[in-house]
Amino acid sequence: MANERTHVQITNGSSGTMGQLTDNEQAWIEFIRVISGGRDPRVTPARVRALRELLDAG
């Protein structure tokens, strides 16, 4: 299922389901859940910058 991808539906409330994600995307989200202690961290400019730097570094 590696690269199988569908869009994630975004609504005012909850968004989509993990069933719509690739295995790799599920791994990213599950790791974020674990390290954030389930606090559902917001997307902030500083965090996005850090994510981009991380991905740019390979």
Q: Which residues bind other proteins (CB under 8 A)?
A: 2-3, 5, 8, 10-11, 13-22, 24-25, 27-29, 31-33, 35-38, 40-43, 47-48, 50-57
CB of 23 to other proteins, least distance (A): 9
Pull the structure tokens for residue 6.
């569908």
Count Cα neighbours of 48 within 13 Å in the Cβ-side half-sphere.
Answer: 4
Pull the structure tokens for residue 14.
């909850």
- CB–CB of 2/21 below 8 Å? no
CB of 24 to other proteins, least distance (A): 5
CB of 16 to other proteins, least distance (A): 5
